[in-house]
Amino acid sequence: MADPIVVTETVRVPIAALTVHAARASGPGGQNVNKVSTKIDLRVDLALIEGLSDDARARLEGLARHRIDGEGRLVMTSQATRTQAHNLADARARVADLIRAALVAPRRRVKTRPSAGAQRRRLGEKKRRADLKRRRARPGEGD
């Protein structure tokens, strides 16, 4: 845990931003589950992440909105494996993946219009459905 999480050449999470807490994992594990604290609770102070633009920081907060605690830290837990070291590596990798996802700017939507033929087909089908439903009605009601 003594090294920072390097996401890209310019973006990294310094050691000062990381807080690690080990706890007992839930689920099966035999005799080990009651003795060994293998679950990792990794908290990352989002304000201390280096090299993150304001837009990327906002995207990260949006992506992680359900994982942010009351102090504004990202909470990543891992209990996938039976060892503390593997769970720590897994949590660190998941934090890096989340930050990497926030670095990618979403593509802008290009407004398009349906073609004239598509509009004609849509309106023609709409008229056919209306006629069909009108013919189902009792005489004199569909007018």
Evaluate whether residue 96 is within a structural domain: yes
How many domains is the chain partitioned into structurally?
Answer: 1
Question: Is 142 part of any domain?
Answer: no
The answer to whether residue 41 sits within a structural domain is yes
The token duo for 113 is: 């219009």
Residue 63 lies in a domain: yes
Q: Is 95 a member of any domain?
A: yes
Query: Is residue 83 one of the residues assigned to a domain?
Result: yes
CATH code (residue 32) = 3.30.160.20
Q: What is the phi-psi region of residue 51: left when phi exceeds 0, alpha when psi lies from -120 to 50, beta otherwise?
A: left
User: Does 55 map to a domain?
Assistant: yes
Per-residue pLDDT of the chain (143 residues; tens, 9 = 90+): 568 888 888 888 898 888 898 888 887 666 777 778 888 999 999 888 889 899 999 999 999 889 988 888 999 999 888 888 999 999 999 999 999 999 999 999 999 999 999 999 999 999 999 999 999 987 776 55
Domain range enclosing 48: 5-103
85 falls within a domain: yes
In angstroms, the CA 72 to CA 101 distance is: 19
